[in-house]
């Protein structure tokens, strides 16, 4: 009947653009897999597409505005196209999006992606107000078909959502409560990925280390990490993002003992001031955080440490800022992502006055970034002369340099005269000859 004919009328085309974090990037891979599975065809530009999807981020106001800029462009000349807003802005704004951008026909948050096939049927049937906004799920989004972007590194989501309540953060509202996958399903997926030729796996979760196996096996994160690193054919395992409160020493012991686990930990601190950490409801003090850093530094392997910083949170004084700069010096991070505080809907910090002017936030951000730049120049210089194993990720045709990634997640651009394109995806040894603030330069060693 009608349903069967609908499916075969024509192949519909879709375009998808993704904003935000790796969780979103991986969600898009799964959404693409679902769409392909439903018979849709992906095209590279929105102009060519009948269905246009935006998978959105709302972590900061600037990120949120991006999707509305995109949609604005199609306000007049989007006729004949169907627009869908997915991800965090969809969850946060819900049906208000239909008012802001009346040419949008579907709004769907990440906890409802399991319902995408049914929602697509509704769209095809001409429904112009299709929504998937429930957060009331204990399911995780797993698809039989995931179209992965990177041919060597594959993401596996092991835990979705967040049960913490950091005062500035919208994520618990956009991604819902924590749900872990069973360890057996994670290991099965890792084995499949290895059989497909992937050699690097990145375990994903908003609080990846809060993972708790819901099956009777009952593995914790350290056990899961170690077991993924034992899957045959997997040479590198990464994980992000870790929450300091749940960061226990067995994670470091696992990295120390298993060379297939990459020596890199991303441990967002947000501020170096205990007073600020308390205001942010981060659930740890500066001292407790530094205890985790001490474990990482005491490992036999040299583990790179990276972090996230927020400047200009309500109540932040010069003294608090100085404590953050001082923490950067103490830890000597390999890299830092720093942000100006941005007020987000639903968060508890909304009750606090956002009293620090924008120019002052800009000044504090610049201070943090310049301080960290000097640290990175110093740290990276120490690698000159060292030989590092790199996964070759590409070739920069302009410079003739191969783009390599070390276990510590540093970019190492190197020369390898005579090498062919098939080098991409291989692991090679490279001697570091020069170092900058953000990358290393080297040459292949045979």
Instruction: Name the nearest CA neighbour of 342 among 350, 351, 331, 332.
Output: 350
- Separation of alpha carbons 88 and 91, rounded Å: 5
Q: At its nearest, how many Å lie between ligand SF4 and the CB of residue 308?
A: 8
Site string for ligand SF4, 181-200 (x = CB under 6 A): --------------------
CB of 205 to ligand 5AD, least distance (A): 13
* Least distance between ligand SF4 and beta carbon 305 (Å): 17
Cβ atoms within 10 Å of 7's Cβ, excluding its own: 12
- H helices of 243-342, in order, are 249-257, 274-279, 286-298, 318-331
CB 364 within 8 A of CB 418: no
CA–CA distance, 102 with 100 (Å, rounded to integer): 6
Tell me whether residue 171 or residue 201 sits nearer to ligand SF4 (CB atom): 171
Residue numbers 216-255 binding ligand SF4 by CB under 6 A: 243
- Structure tokens given for 315: 């109540």
Q: Which is nearer to ligand 5AD, 47 or 358 (CB)?
A: 358
* Shortest reach from residue 20's CB to ligand SF4, in Å: 12
Find the shortest distance in angstroms from Cβ 308 to ligand 5AD: 3
State which residue, 59 or 186, has the beta carbon closest to ligand 5AD.
59
Binding residues for ligand SF4 restricted to 150-179, rule: CB under 6 A: 162, 164, 166, 169, 171-172
Interacting residues toward ligand 5AD by CB under 6 A: 59-60, 168-169, 268, 270, 308, 310, 339, 341-342, 344
**What interhelical angle do 318-331 and 358-381 show, nearest 10?**
20
**Closest separation in Å from C-beta 84 to ligand 5AD:** 24
The nearer residue to ligand 5AD, 59 or 356, going by C-beta atoms, is 59
Q: Which residues contact 162 (CB under 8 A, 6 or more apart)?
A: 169, 171, 172, 175, 177, 178, 206, 207
Residue 330 CA to residue 350 CA, distance in Å, equals 32
Q: Is 311 helix (H, G, I), strand (E, B) or coil?
A: strand
Closest to ligand SF4 by CB, 163 or 370: 163
206 binds, among ligand 5AD, ligand SF4, none (CB under 5 to 8 A by kind): ligand SF4
Sheet holding 304-311, edge to edge: 264-266, 304-311, 335-340
Query: Residue 104 binds which one of ligand SF4, ligand 5AD, none, with CB within 5 to 8 A depending on kind?
Result: none
Q: Does 343 bind ligand SF4 (CB under 6 A)?
A: no
Q: Which residues bind ligand SF4 (CB under 6 A)?
A: 162, 164, 166, 169, 171-172, 206-207, 243
């Amino acid at each position: 009947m009608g349903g069967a004919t609908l499916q075969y009328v024509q192949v519909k085309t879709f375009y998808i653009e993704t904003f935000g974090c790796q969780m979103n990037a991986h969600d898009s891979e799964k959404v693409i897999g679902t769409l392909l599975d439903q018979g849709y065809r992906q095209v590279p530009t929105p102009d060519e597409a009948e269905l246009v999807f935006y998978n959105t981020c709302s972590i900061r106001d600037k990120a949120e505005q991006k999707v509305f800029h995109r949609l604005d462009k199609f306000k007049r000349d989007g006729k004949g196209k169907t627009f869908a807003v997915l991800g965090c802005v969809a969850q946060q704004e819900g049906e208000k999006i239909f008012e802001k951008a009346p040419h949008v026909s579907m709004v769907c948050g990440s906890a409802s992606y399991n319902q995408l096939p049914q929602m697509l049927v509704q769209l095809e049937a001409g429904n112009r107000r299709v929504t998937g906004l429930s957060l009331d799920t204990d399911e995780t989004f797993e698809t039989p078909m995931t179209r992965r972007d990177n041919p060597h590194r594959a993401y596996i989501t092991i835990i979705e959502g967040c049960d913490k309540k950091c005062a500035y953060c919208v994520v618990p509202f956009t991604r819902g409560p924590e749900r872990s996958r069973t360890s057996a399903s994670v290991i099965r997926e890792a084995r499949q990925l290895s059989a497909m030729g992937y050699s690097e796996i990145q375990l994903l979760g908003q609080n990846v280390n809060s993972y708790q196996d819901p099956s009777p096996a009952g593995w914790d994160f350290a056990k899961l990490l170690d077991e993924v690193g034992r899957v045959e054919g997997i040479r590198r395992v990464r994980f992000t993002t870790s929450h300091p409160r749940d960061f226990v020493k067995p994670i470091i012991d696992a990295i120390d003992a298993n060379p297939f686990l990459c020596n890199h930990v991303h441990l967002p601190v947000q501020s170096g001031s205990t007073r600020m950490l308390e205001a942010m409801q981060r659930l740890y003090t500066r001292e407790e955080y530094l205890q985790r850093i001490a474990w990482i530094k005491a490992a036999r392997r040299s583990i790179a440490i990276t972090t996230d910083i927020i400047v200009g949170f309500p109540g932040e004084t010069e003294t608090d800022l100085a404590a953050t700069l001082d923490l950067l010096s103490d830890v000597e991070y390999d890299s830092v992502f720093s942000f100006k505080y941005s007020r987000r809907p639903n968060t508890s910090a909304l009750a606090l006055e956002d009293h620090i002017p924008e120019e002052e936030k800009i000044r504090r951000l610049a201070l943090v970034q310049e301080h960290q730049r000097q640290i990175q120049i110093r740290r990276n210089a120490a690698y000159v002369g060292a030989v590092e194993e790199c996964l070759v990720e590409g070739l920069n045709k302009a410079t003739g340099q191969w783009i390599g990634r070390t276990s510590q997640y540093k970019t190492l651009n190197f020369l390898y005269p005579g090498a062919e394109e098939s080098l991409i995806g291989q692991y090679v040894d490279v001697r570091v000859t020069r170092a900058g603030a953000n990358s290393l330069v080297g040459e292949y060693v045979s």
